[in-house]
């Protein structure tokens, strides 16, 4: 290998010499031989502390080693830690220095890593990643730490700390714990962890009333589920109080206020907090209110699936307004509104896809051929369109037309063909074959086919026998023999 072929880091940064056994100085990622060190680094006063030191003559801002050691780590910003490396950007502590190493591949598993190391106990002289370096570790049955285990006098495999040292007292509760454990028992550790998180989280609240209630909740939570789970839940549950902070300013919020802010899905997400509100403050949202709120959110989600702004969105919103008036008059329910809005939104998606503005009979045909079970639910929307937007869709005649029934049967026939060569290996396959068979061979409606349960089906030599509403039906089996 010639001098030009040598890596730059093996050469002196001052003279490019490569035949150097030991570098005299390393500075900001560069290495200098003794000759270049004497030539480049001259003794002068450090601009920071005033003490004399050998500093590079071409760098007026250079400071002495003692001042460098006092600088914070450029990664973790901590001071007074052992220096691991000094690069062109500044000081890196020993703990962070591994993150500034070049990424190399583990010589055992080929995984890229910055933390390759030699492990002498393996005797293979390979530089391995952290995972390979602990491949012979196991969980100690005494302290439950993942460590290298050895056998004790009884032949049981435990870690060296637990084997060689006697049990010690927990610093908080004096409970005797294995030597391999930290200074706290599990319960005290998780208790400490919980309240350390709580002290950080409580600073997010401006209201003193809410801070007190937050602490009361955590005391209740720790007692309810234990310190371990409470410490794991605390950050998630803190979001409940953050989202409702404005409601706690003057008094404890009511169930209606919480439901208005968090909605039903939010109360379901923070179930433990709602249990605490019920136990501690007798605040509990009524089941009917939660159901109403949930239905409202589902309706809103359906409508928002339409492009905005668009005629389709405006039409459906106008239809919803009319349904809301009916609900106020007691002529319909929120659930019925949702069931009416769903096919209306789906039909308007067909309209948008075709580039039209308002639905026509072709859109209705296309939709109902795909979703024939929605024919009744779509009636109200069609009547609304004819009345408010003069669409003139002859929906009644269409539902009774042979063409519609033929198209619907063609769709069922297509599904039957797809199932003909499919093995009926489980209950779901048999149910699918029977339901589509009844619709095709016996003209059973889609709604009636949904009533079919597996228990209603009896297998015969040449097909399946089904009893529905005291009436017996028979359909042939498909080509594949059932194994059920």
Task: Give the pLDDT confidence score for residue 401 in this predicted structure.
Answer: 56
Task: Give the pLDDT confidence score for residue 3 in this predicted structure.
Answer: 38
Rounded average pLDDT over 74-80: 86
| Distance (Å) of CA 203 to CA 191, 198, 213, 235, 320 | 19, 9, 14, 13, 44
Query: How many separate domains does the chain show?
Result: 5
Q: What is the pLDDT of residues 369-419, one digit of tens each?
A: 777 667 777 888 888 888 888 777 777 666 555 555 566 666 666 667 666
Asked whether residue 452 is assigned to any structural domain, the reply reads: yes
- Which pair of tokens denotes residue 362? 């072709």
| Final residue of a structural domain among 269, 285, 301 | 285
- CA dist 275 and 410 (Å) reads 53
Question: pLDDT category, 133, cuts 50, 70, 90?
Answer: very high
Task: Give the pLDDT confidence score for residue 454 in this predicted structure.
Answer: 78
Pair (258, 170) in one structural domain: no
Q: What is the pLDDT of residues 314-365, one digit of tens each?
A: 888 888 888 888 888 888 888 888 888 888 888 888 888 878 888 888 787 7
Asked whether residue 280 is assigned to any structural domain, the reply reads: yes
- Which pair of tokens denotes residue 415? 């599904």
| Final residue of a structural domain among 53, 69, 85 | 69
- Which pair of tokens denotes residue 145? 């730490």
38-42, 150-154, 450-454 — which one is most confidently predicted on average?
Answer: 38-42
Task: Give the pLDDT confidence score for residue 5 in this predicted structure.
Answer: 43
Asked whether residue 96 is assigned to any structural domain, the reply reads: no
Task: Give the pLDDT confidence score for residue 409 in this predicted structure.
Answer: 65
pLDDT at residue 7 is higher than 60: no
- Say which DSSP state 73 is in: P
Task: Give the pLDDT confidence score for residue 403 in this predicted structure.
Answer: 58
pLDDT at residue 290 is higher than 90: no
Question: pLDDT category, 462, cuts 50, 70, 90?
Answer: confident
In 3-state terms, what secondary structure has residue 247? helix
Pair (199, 273) in one structural domain: yes
Asked whether residue 25 is assigned to any structural domain, the reply reads: yes
Task: Give the pLDDT confidence score for residue 402 in this predicted structure.
Answer: 58
Domain span at 246: 188-285
Rounded average pLDDT over 208-225: 88
pLDDT at residue 366 is higher than 70: yes
Residues 302, 342: contact at Cβ < 8 Å? yes
Task: Give the pLDDT confidence score for residue 397 in this predicted structure.
Answer: 64
Question: pLDDT category, 484, cuts 50, 70, 90?
Answer: very low
Cβ-in-10-Å burial (0-12, 13-18, 19+) of 418 comes to exposed
Question: pLDDT category, 6, cuts 50, 70, 90?
Answer: very low
In 3-state terms, what secondary structure has residue 452? coil
Beta-bridged to residue 463, according to DSSP, are: 476
Residues 218, 230: contact at Cβ < 8 Å? yes
User: Which residues make Cβ contacts (< 8 Å) with residue 411, sequence separation at least 6?
Assistant: 369, 370, 372
For 398-416, letters b (16+ CB in 10 Å) and e give: bbeeeebeebbeebbeebb
- In the numeric block, the tokens 């530089």 are attached to 127
User: Which residues make Cβ contacts (< 8 Å) with residue 182, sequence separation at least 6?
Assistant: 189
The pTM of the full predicted model, rounded to 2 decimals, is 0.57
Rounded average pLDDT over 109-138: 91
| Final residue of a structural domain among 185, 216, 250 | 185
Kindly tell me the number of DSSP H helices and DSSP E strands found in the chain.
Answer: 17, 19
pLDDT at residue 271 is higher than 50: yes
Task: Give the pLDDT confidence score for residue 373 in this predicted structure.
Answer: 67
Pair (57, 113) in one structural domain: no
Q: What is the pLDDT of residues 325-334, one digit of tens each?
A: 888 888 888 8
Region for residue 110 given its phi and psi (left: phi exceeds 0; alpha: psi -120 to 50; beta: otherwise): left
Task: Give the pLDDT confidence score for residue 129 in this predicted structure.
Answer: 92
- CA dist 130 and 350 (Å) reads 56
pLDDT at residue 91 is higher than 90: no
Q: What is the pLDDT of residues 20-49, one digit of tens each?
A: 778 888 777 788 888 888 888 888 888 888
In 3-state terms, what secondary structure has residue 425? coil
- CA dist 78 and 99 (Å) reads 15
Asked whether residue 20 is assigned to any structural domain, the reply reads: yes
- State the chain's mean pLDDT as an integer: 82
pLDDT at residue 165 is higher than 90: no
Pair (238, 311) in one structural domain: no
Measure the CA dihedral 114/118/124/130, to 10°. Answer: -50
Rounded average pLDDT over 108-124: 91
Pair (370, 307) in one structural domain: yes
């Amino acid at each position: 290998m010639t001098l030009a072929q040598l890596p730059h880091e093996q050469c002196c940064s001052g003279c490019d010499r490569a035949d150097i056994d030991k570098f005299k100085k390393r500075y900001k990622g560069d290495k200098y031989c003794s000759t270049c060190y004497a030539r480049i680094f001259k003794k002068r006063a450090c601009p920071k502390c005033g003490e004399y030191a050998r500093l590079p003559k071409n760098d007026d801002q250079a400071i002495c080693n003692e001042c460098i050691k006092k600088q914070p780590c450029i990664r973790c910003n901590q001071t007074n830690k052992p220096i691991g490396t000094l690069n062109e950007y500044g000081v890196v502590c020993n703990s962070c220095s591994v993150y500034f190493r070049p990424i190399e591949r583990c010589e055992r598993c080929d995984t890229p890593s910055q933390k390759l190391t030699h492990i002498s106990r393996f005797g293979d002289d390979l530089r391995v990643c952290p995972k390979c370096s602990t491949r012979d570790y196991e969980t100690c049955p005494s302290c439950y730490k993942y460590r290298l285990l050895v056998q004790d006098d009884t032949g049981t495999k435990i870690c060296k700390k637990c084997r060689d040292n006697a049990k010690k007292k927990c610093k908080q509760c004096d409970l005797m714990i294995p030597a391999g454990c930290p200074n706290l028992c599990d319960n005290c550790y998780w208790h400490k962890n919980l309240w350390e998180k709580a002290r950080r989280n409580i600073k997010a609240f401006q209201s003193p009333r809410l801070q007190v209630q937050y602490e009361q909740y955590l005391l209740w939570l720790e007692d309810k589920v234990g310190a371990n789970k409470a410490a794991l839940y605390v950050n998630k549950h803190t979001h409940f109080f953050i989202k409702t902070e404005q409601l706690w300013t003057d008094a404890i919020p009511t169930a209606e206020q919480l439901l208005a802010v968090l909605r039903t899905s939010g109360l379901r997400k923070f179930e433990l907090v709602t249990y605490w509100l019920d136990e501690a403050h007798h605040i509990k949202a009524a089941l009917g209110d939660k159901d109403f709120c949930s239905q409202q959110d589902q309706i809103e989600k359906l409508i928002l699936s339409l492009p905005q702004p668009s005629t389709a969105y405006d039409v459906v919103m106008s239809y919803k307004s009319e349904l809301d008036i009916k609900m106020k008059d007691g002529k319909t329910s929120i659930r019925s509104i949702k069931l009416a809005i769903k096919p209306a939104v789906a039909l308007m998606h067909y309209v948008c896809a075709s580039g039209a503005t308002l639905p026509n009979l072709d859109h209705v045909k296309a939709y109902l051929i795909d979703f024939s079970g929605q024919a009744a639910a779509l009636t109200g929307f069609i009547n609304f369109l004819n009345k408010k937007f003069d669409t003139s869709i002859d929906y009644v005649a269409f539902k009774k037309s042979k063409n519609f029934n033929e198209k619907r049967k063609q769709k069922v026939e297509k599904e039957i063909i797809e199932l003909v060569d499919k093995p009926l290996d489980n209950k779901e396959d048999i149910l699918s074959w029977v339901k589509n068979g009844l619709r095709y061979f016996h003209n059973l409606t889609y709604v009636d086919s949904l009533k079919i349960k597996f228990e209603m089906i009896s297998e015969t030599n040449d097909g399946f026998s089904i009893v529905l509403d005291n009436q017996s039906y028979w359909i042939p089996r498909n080509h594949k023999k059932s194994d059920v």
